[in-house]
């Protein structure tokens, strides 16, 4: 069917003659194909009835000249520096388009040009009608695709989608933002040579995956199916993880508008194309999620998802469920992203996640920090190293059947499995330099020499101790190749072994907590604090000049130079026992020491230099992410006396109150139930939060001052809360899954693993001139639910956290996490918060 359009000049002339009563002149009708072919090069077409008066093609075929677009979008061709030389070619788009490097108004841009075959002299020569028809069809197809993509780009406003700068009809092109680093495929190819997995690094891989998902979610919200998502169509702006935008999606030439009924068409790139895309088959936005899974494969492996060389061969493999091979999760070490990749490339579209749900998943820091889990079989005990070692050791059995297993968490494998090493059951161990110190339940210490992967055979040295060793600590001293090994004992003593050139000295001294408590701190023998408490933990503090060790509910501070106990601190009251100690830095860079108890389930923070108690935090909150607690200011001068007074240094007793409405609350003995009720009923203004973590509200903290040790006052008559709604809960009645297991100093934050498997991450920050503590993240891996309770945890090589889980049968599994500090969490949270802000700004501009 041929189409014609009347000449507007002839029409106007005929109307004028009709009004004057003259005979109407004939009107020229232009063939639409003539108009299209002429529009390839010219803005006007000549009418044979008035050759001296050209006809604007905008009036004949306005859709080709984009007359419905705003005038501001049309490029000033005089300001466009554009060359079609090979040196300017950046790449090729769909349908034969070519992308050139150019400049517009002095700024670098990318110009996507649509090349149309020219057909000359069609009006003066009887050209082949069929050839002219084919060329007109080709030109119309280019105009149509140009209009579709330009319309789509004009309507899209998102920080992760390439922005349209302007359009031009002669030449037929549009200008886009120019990506400084080219396509993601190019960047991956350049960086994949030196790395087996994640060639762009973990944080940047996370950010790029998130930004792609964010762009897809925006497109799908606009009912647009990308249809050709691949690394070639993802342009890279920056490789700096601190930048808010690293990539942008581009090339929408074959995108489809999708409504409720879906879309039709066979488009896409083999290897990335979803298996349900077939002729006359309706599909939806889940085809983009399949392609997204393939892009995730590229991000993780650095390789294209190659499944063959022919499109039909690739399509058959994909429809049968064959996918590119990546590696085991413990090799890749990005568990959640690998699982997401496999969910996205599921053959069944309904099983693939939506882009919006992917965005939500990736905003949880657990997604980025959980590396993998490693089953380790049936074991009896878990021991972690100190220093730059990536191994943890399991021991099992006793006497002739005793054996050990070594897990290398950097490589994600068990390097040594059930190596025999006869002896008594181990109580603890310490690896220092090339020696392994092991303590057994028969009150012995055995020192082994470590040479490569050789088995532990005959110990180099055996030492006797007056009680079972419960913990070790290596303390460096000023002498070269010398250090002290401190062994905390089950009876409260601390044995000190000087070590020179790897060998312990024959002289061994002891630090006696009982004697120090009586003679220095005035604690009577019948005081409960004089019980023979095992030394649970020791930590080096104050730049290596001191060692802080546990003594029941208190802490003893040892002077390393004099090797004597010179101070006692009282963070808790009996029957609480300090179980873990960790040393970190506060906002000003000064050392602080944290300790954890076994009954109140709370942390206490001391300023190390002044021994001043600064803060206390309850670890049993079921929803701790909202928690903010004050940190008291440090006094100008340290305490006067070296003798810690139990009455002055002791934190007040606390009671734990629980109500279904308000959850768990902590009350000091100075508080009354009346105060609690009235405080709970008032609404408080939200605390201003730094961008370190998502918005949170403050929770009621512990008091940091010494308070009246008397019991709770009787509730006032005005408190109308029923007794069953607000009742004290004994510490032992706490849900075991909320019980803190250990304190881990990870960079400048404290990680607190809890029995149920989640990890509270606490950081310190400045607020209005003061400091406060905040739970910056709560990490919880649902994959670990089946592995029982969290038994122990450790920091290995300073940047990796390992949590050991065991079930009732003592089957162990290691959960390995990236040891993030404030900087990493800050980059993570800001990455999506800033992206959301930029997206909101673009909406406002429109």
In sequence order, the 6+-apart residues with CB closer than 8 A to the CB of 621 are 627, 663, 664, 699, 738
CB 656 within 8 A of CB 731: yes
Rounded Cα distance between 222 and 146, Å, is 19
**DSSP characters over 778-789:** EE--GGGGGG-E
228 is catalytic: yes
| CA–CA distance, 193 with 184 (Å, rounded to integer) | 15
What is the strand order of the sheet 403-408 is part of?
A: 381-383, 391-396, 403-408, 413-420
Catalytic residue among 34, 228, 346, 621: 228
Of 71, 75, 45, nearest to 57 (Cα)?
A: 45
Question: What is the Cα–Cα distance from 361 to 780, expressed in whole angstroms?
Answer: 12
Cβ neighbours of residue 805 under 8 Å, at least 6 residues apart?
757, 784, 787, 788, 789, 790, 791, 812, 813, 814, 815
Cβ burial, residue 181 (10 Å; 0-12/13-18/19+): middle
List phi, psi (to 5°) of 289: -70, -30
Q: Which two tokens stand for residue 720?
A: 């109308």
Q: Are strands 554-559 and 564-569 parallel, antiparallel or unpaired?
A: antiparallel
Q: Which of 106, 99, 105 is nearest to 84 (CA)?
A: 99
The answer to whether the CB of 630 falls within 8 A of the CB of 772 is yes
SS3 breakdown of the chain: % helix, strand, coil, rounded to 5?
A: 25, 30, 45
Whole-Å CA distances, 829 to 201, 202, 826: 18, 15, 5
* Token reading at 98: 């070519």
Rg (C-alpha) for the chain, rounded Å, is 36
Q: Name which of 549, 630, 640, 591 is nearest 745 in CA terms.
A: 591
SS3 430: strand
What's the Cα-to-Cα distance from 568 to each of 346, 492, 520, 739, rounded to whole Å?
61, 14, 9, 26
SS3 288: helix
d(CA 62, CA 69): 11
The β-bridge relationship of strands 426-432 and 435-440 is: antiparallel
Contact 409, 386 (CB under 8 A): no
Residue whose tokens read 């984009």:
66
- Would you name the residues annotated as active-site residues? 228
């Amino acid at each position: 069917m041929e189409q014609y359009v009347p000449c507007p000049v002839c029409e106007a002339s005929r109307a004028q003659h009709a009004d004057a009563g003259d005979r109407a002149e004939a009107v020229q009708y232009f063939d639409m194909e003539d108009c299209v072919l002429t529009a390839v090069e010219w803005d006007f077409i000549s009418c044979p009835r008035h050759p001296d008066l050209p006809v604007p093609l905008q009036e004949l075929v306005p859709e080709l000249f984009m007359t419905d677009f705003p005038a501001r979008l049309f490029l000033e061709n005089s300001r466009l520096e554009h060359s079609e030389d090979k040196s300017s070619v950046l790449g090729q788009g769909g349908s034969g388009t070519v992308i050139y490097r150019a400049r517009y108004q002095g700024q670098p841009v990318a110009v996507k040009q649509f090349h149309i075959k020219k057909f000359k002299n069609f009006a003066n020569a009887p050209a082949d009608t069929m050839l002219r028809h084919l060329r007109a069809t080709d030109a119309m197809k280019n105009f149509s695709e140009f209009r579709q993509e330009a319309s789509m780009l004009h309507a899209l406003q998102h920080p992760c989608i390439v922005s349209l700068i302007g359009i031009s009809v002669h030449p037929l092109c549009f200008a886009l933002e120019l990506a400084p680093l080219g396509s993601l495929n190019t960047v991956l190819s350049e960086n994949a040579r030196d790395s087996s997995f994640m060639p762009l690094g973990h944080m940047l891989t996370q950010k790029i995956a998130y930004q792609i998902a964010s762009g897809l979610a925006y497109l799908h919200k606009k009912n647009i199916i990308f249809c050709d998502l691949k690394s070639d169509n993802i342009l890279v702006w920056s490789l700096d993880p601190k930048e808010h935008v690293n990539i942008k999606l581009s090339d929408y030439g074959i995108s489809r508008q999708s409504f409720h009924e879906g879309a039709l068409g066979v488009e896409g790139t083999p290897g990335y194309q979803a298996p349900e895309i077939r002729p006359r088959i309706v599909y939806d936005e889940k085809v983009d999620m399949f392609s997204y899974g393939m892009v995730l494969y590229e991000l993780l492996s650095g390789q294209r998802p190659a499944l063959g060389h022919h499109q039909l061969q690739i399509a058959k493999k994909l429809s049968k469920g064959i996918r590119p091979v990546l590696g085991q999760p413990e090799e890749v070490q990005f568990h959640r992203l690998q699982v997401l990749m496999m969910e996205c490339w599921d053959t069944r579209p309904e099983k693939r996640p939506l882009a919006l749900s992917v965005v939500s998943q990736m905003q949880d820091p657990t997604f980025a920090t959980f590396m993998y889990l490693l089953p380790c079989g049936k074991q009896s005990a878990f021991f972690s190293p100190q220093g730059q070692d990536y191994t943890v050791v399991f021991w099992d059995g006793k006497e002739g059947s005793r054996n050990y297993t070594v897990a290398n968490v950097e490589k994600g494998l068990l390097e040594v499995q059930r190596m025999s090493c006869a002896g008594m059951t181990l109580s603890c161990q310490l690896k220092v330099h090339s020696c392994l110190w092991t303590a057994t339940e028969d009150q012995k210490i055995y020192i082994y020499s470590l040479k490569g992967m050789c088995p532990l055979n005959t110990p180099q040295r055996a030492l006797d101790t007056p009680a079972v060793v419960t913990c070790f600590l290596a303390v460096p001293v000023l002498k070269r190749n010398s250090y002290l090994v401190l062994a905390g004992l089950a009876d409260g003593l601390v044995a000190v072994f000087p070590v020179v050139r790897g060998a312990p000295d024959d002289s061994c001294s002891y630090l006696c907590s009982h004697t120090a408590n009586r003679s220095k701190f005035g604690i009577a023998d019948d005081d409960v604090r004089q019980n023979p408490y095992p030394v649970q933990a020791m930590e080096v503090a104050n730049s290596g000049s001191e060692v802080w060790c546990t003594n029941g509910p208190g802490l003893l501070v040892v002077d390393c130079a004099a090797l004597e106990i010179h101070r006692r601190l009282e963070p808790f009251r009996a029957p609480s026992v300090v179980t873990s100690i960790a040393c970190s830095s506060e906002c000003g860079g000064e050392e602080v020491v944290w300790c954890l108890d076994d009954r109140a389930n709370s942390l206490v923070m001391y300023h190390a230099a002044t021994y001043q108690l600064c803060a206390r935090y309850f670890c049993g909150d079921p929803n701790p992410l909202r928690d903010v607690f004050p940190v008291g200011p440090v006094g100008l001068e340290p305490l006067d006396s070296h003798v810690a007074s139990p009455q002055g240094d002791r934190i007040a007793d606390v009671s734990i109150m629980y109500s279904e409405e308000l959850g768990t609350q902590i009350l000091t003995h100075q508080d009354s139930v009346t105060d609690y009720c009235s405080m709970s009923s008032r609404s408080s203004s939200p605390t201003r939060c730094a961008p370190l973590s998502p918005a949170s509200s403050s929770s009621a903290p512990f008091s940091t001052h010494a308070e009246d040790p008397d019991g709770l006052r009787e509730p006032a008559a005005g408190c109308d809360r029923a007794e069953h709604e607000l009742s004290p809960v004994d510490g032992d009645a706490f849900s075991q899954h909320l019980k803190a297991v250990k304190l881990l100093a990870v960079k400048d934050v404290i990680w607190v693993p809890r029995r149920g498997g989640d990890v509270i991450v606490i950081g310190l920050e400045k607020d209005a001139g003061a400091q406060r503590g905040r739970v910056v993240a709560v990490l919880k891996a649902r994959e670990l639910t089946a592995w029982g309770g969290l038994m122990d945890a450790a920091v290995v090589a300073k940047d990796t956290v390992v949590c050991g889980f065991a079930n009732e049968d003592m089957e162990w599994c290691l959960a390995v996490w990236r040891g993030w500090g404030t900087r990493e969490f800050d980059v993570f949270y800001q990455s999506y918060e800033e992206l959301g802000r930029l997206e909101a700004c673009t909406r406002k501009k429109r």
